[in-house]
């Protein structure tokens, strides 16, 4: 099989799918692969890290690389002739690659549907011409795509398969050196360098304000693989713990979190931890997004719940003062925190139980049998 996953979250979801697939039989996989797929034993055609982009302008900057990658994958398909091509999320690239592969005779399995319900709904109809099977991870997506003529099946969300903190709470607090009574506030600025640059300063300034009002607060900045605090102002990191490889522990054990929009917001919601969803992009990306995005909310927990269960601080609304005030309500009032956790419970209820990776693997195995 040939697998194309272009971002860190897609790499994780694809790795889970491949492990479930290997449980069914021997499979040779070549891929656009990140660290988790490489750990699952795939043969790397292109490193996934090379393709990560932010926003519309980020795509423009990487167009030469994206075109070279597209051409290399088409050549790889012709040489490798896989039984199936598995496209995982990454719509800006995969929605263009898929039809080209289909014209070469590929059988296309799409996993983690492109969010056409947020932009360009007509693309769902276009996908019917080249997608053989589509495995969707949100329950409202199955009827949307089926109405557009796509063979779509809701398999559940793969985050529910193995979402767990890396260590227990006592170990985590010991690693932090947290004193009894200190409350962790999680700061998750995003998994890409551009997101770190856009968000970390504001999150750290908000943490400083919180410490001025709540002396027992211990801010913890969770850095994604490949990111470094070297680009951050050292003065802002005073009294802040920086951790790597403990993102899920931060999400699980924090009193509350500030989380950049993306998969991490859904993870935090599934842990039941009150969160503020934050995001800021350049003005060009913002103007384009305002024209094409059709949703009243951008945060996945809010989209899944069908209402706001996590406040969103976006663009000019994302300031250190506003963020500190939002997080401070949960620190100051246990009843407010309890209400937030009750709202987040809706997200888990709507996503169902574990087993998404196995269900998707079964669909894929059936398609190539």
Contacts of 352 (CB under 8 A, 6+ apart): 139, 156, 157, 160
Mean pLDDT for the chain?
90
- 178 against 66, higher pLDDT: 178
pLDDT at 191: 87
Tokens 């075109």 correspond to 67
> Are 219 and 335 contacting, i.e. CB atoms less than 8 angstroms apart?
no
Write down the pLDDT at residue 63: 77
Q: What is the SS3 assignment for 216?
A: coil
pLDDT tens digit sequence for 295-348: 567 899 999 998 999 999 998 899 999 999 999 999 999 999 999 999 999 999
The DSSP call for residue 42 is P
**Neighbouring residues of 296: CB distance < 8 A, sequence distance ≥ 6:** none
pLDDT band at 115 (very low <50, low <70, confident <90, very high): confident
Residue 159's closest CA among 343, 337, 364, 304?
A: 304
pLDDT at 289 (0 to 100) = 43
Cβ(239)–Cβ(272) below 8 Å:
no
Fold agreement between 2-156+353-368 and 169-351: yes
Other CB atoms within 10 Å distance of the CB of residue 125: 14
Tens-place pLDDT, residues 54-103? 444 455 567 788 889 999 999 999 999 999 999 998 888 899 999 999 99
Bridge partners for 3 per DSSP: 31, 86
- Domain chopping of the chain, boundaries: 2-156+353-368, 169-351
For residue 44 the two structure tokens come to 């790397």
- Determine the angle formed by the axes of helices 320-332 and 334-351, rounding to 10 degrees: 100
Residue with tokens 């309500």: 329
Distance CA 234, CA 110 (A): 43
Q: At the fourth CATH level, which superfamily is domain 169-351?
A: Glycogen Phosphorylase B; (3.40.50.2000)
Give residue 292's pLDDT.
43
Q: What band does 234 get if pLDDT is binned at 50, 70 and 90?
A: very high
* Residue 117 pLDDT class (50, 70, 90 cuts): low
Q: Which residues of 210-223 are buried (b: 16+ CB within 10 A; e: fewer)?
A: bbeebeebbbbbbb
Question: Under CATH, domain 2-156+353-368 is a member of which superfamily?
Answer: Glycogen Phosphorylase B; (3.40.50.2000)
């Amino acid at each position: 099989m040939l697998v194309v996953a272009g971002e860190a979250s897609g790499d994780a979801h694809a790795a889970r799918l491949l492990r479930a697939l290997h449980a069914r039989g021997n499979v040779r996989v070549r891929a656009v692969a990140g660290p988790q797929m490489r750990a699952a034993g795939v043969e790397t055609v292109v490193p996934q890290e090379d393709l990560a982009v932010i926003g519309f302008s980020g795509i423009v900057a990487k167009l030469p690389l994206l075109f070279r990658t597209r051409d290399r994958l088409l050549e790889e398909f012709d040489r490798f002739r896989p039984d199936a091509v598995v496209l995982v999320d990454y719509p800006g690239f995969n929605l263009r690659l898929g039809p080209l592969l289909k014209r070469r005779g590929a059988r296309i399995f799409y996993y983690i549907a492109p969010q056409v319900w947020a932009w360009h709904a007509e693309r769902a109809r276009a996908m019917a011409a080249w997608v053989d099977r589509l495995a969707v991870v949100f329950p409202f997506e199955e009827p949307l795509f089926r109405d557009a003529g796509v063979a779509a099946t809701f398999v559940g969300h793969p985050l529910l398969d193995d979402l767990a903190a890396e260590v227990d709470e006592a170990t985590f607090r010991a690693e932090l050196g947290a004193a009894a009574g200190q409350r962790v506030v999680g700061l998750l600025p995003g998994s890409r360098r551009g997101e770190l640059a856009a968000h970390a300063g504001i999150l750290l300034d908000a943490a400083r304000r919180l410490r001025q009002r709540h002396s027992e607060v211990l801010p913890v900045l969770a850095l994604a693989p490949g990111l470094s605090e070297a680009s951050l102002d050292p003065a802002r990191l005073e009294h802040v713990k920086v951790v790597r490889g403990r993102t899920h522990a931060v999400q699980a054990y924090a009193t509350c979190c500030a989380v950049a929009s993306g998969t991490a917001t859904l993870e935090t919601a599934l842990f039941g931890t009150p969160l503020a969803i934050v995001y800021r992009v350049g003005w060009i990306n913002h103007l384009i997004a305002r024209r094409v995005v059709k949703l009243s909310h951008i945060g996945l927990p809010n989209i899944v719940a069908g209402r706001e269960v996590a406040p969103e601080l976006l663009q000019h609304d994302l300031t250190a003062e506003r963020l500190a005030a939002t997080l401070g309500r949960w620190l100051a009032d246990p009843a407010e925190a309890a209400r937030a956790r009750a709202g987040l419970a809706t997200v888990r209820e709507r996503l169902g139980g574990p087993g998404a990776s196995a269900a998707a693997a079964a669909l894929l195995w059936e398609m190539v049998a």
